[in-house]
Homo-oligomer: A and B are copies of this chain.
Amino acid sequence: MYVTLSTEQAPAFMVSGTKLPCQSKVTVLNQRRHETGTHFFREGDKASHVYEVKSGVLRLTRVLKNGRRQVIAFGLPGDIIGFPNGDQHHTDCDVIATAEIVAHRRQNLEDGEGDPETHQRLLRAALREISAMQDHFMMLARKSAMEKVASFLIVLSHRTGTPVGNYTTFSLPMSRADIADFLGLTIETISRSLSILRKHGTITLETPQIVLVQDMQALIDAAQATD
């Protein structure tokens, strides 16, 4: 698993990820960086950049002293992640699936200096992020387990799914534990919810990580609370 990183002006380099055998080459252009493990940055790290996900999946988490963990968000292609508070990152960030990432200097978000168009784009992304997080409040606080899981599948389906005949398929690169910590549930509840959807013929799990949506309408109904 790899992360390819590039700056705005010039790409790029790779960061090796979790467990998978090497499949990609490392391309280094002007920034140089190599990490082992899935780790990308940690809470408290100096936030010099924000990152635009071009491909792959990242995971943003926060952990409390007592060990409770919250997955704040998954960084999917098109997302911009790592918005700093002050000059530090306030989440951990790990690589979940081989990713290509563009780094944007924090400066370019904070003051307009540099490319003003990028400045706008980053700012808009931050505002969009606030809106998305508000949706997620609804999700966490006011939806049942089934609704949460169904909503989650729908989002992934829209954002990363590929059509297969009338159906749509996509992968769940994150573990059940990650999903649980994202939705505020337990892994057992995630698993049970998925099983129910399977029994209803709404989805099929080709493997535990590969979902085939067979009845999108049923899935939408299961998500009810109308995203």
Chain A contact residues, CB within 8 Å of chain B? 62, 64-66, 68-70, 72, 83-85, 90-91, 109-112, 116, 120, 123, 126-131, 133-134, 136-138, 140-142, 181, 183-184, 224-226
Give the chain B neighbours of A126 by CB distance below 8 A.
123, 126-127, 130
A176 to B112, CA, bound (A): 43
Q: Are B226 and A72 in contact (CB under 8 A)?
A: no
Q: Are A225 and B134 in contact (CB under 8 A)?
A: no
A126 to B65, CA, bound (A): 26
A83 to B183, CA, bound (A): 25
Q: Taking CB as reference atom, which chain B residue is nearest A63?
A: B138
Question: Which one of B120, B137, B224 lies within 8 Å of A66 (CB-CB)?
Answer: B224
Q: Are A83 and B127 in contact (CB under 8 A)?
A: yes
A137-B140 contact, Cβ under 8 Å, with A90-B131, A226-B66: yes
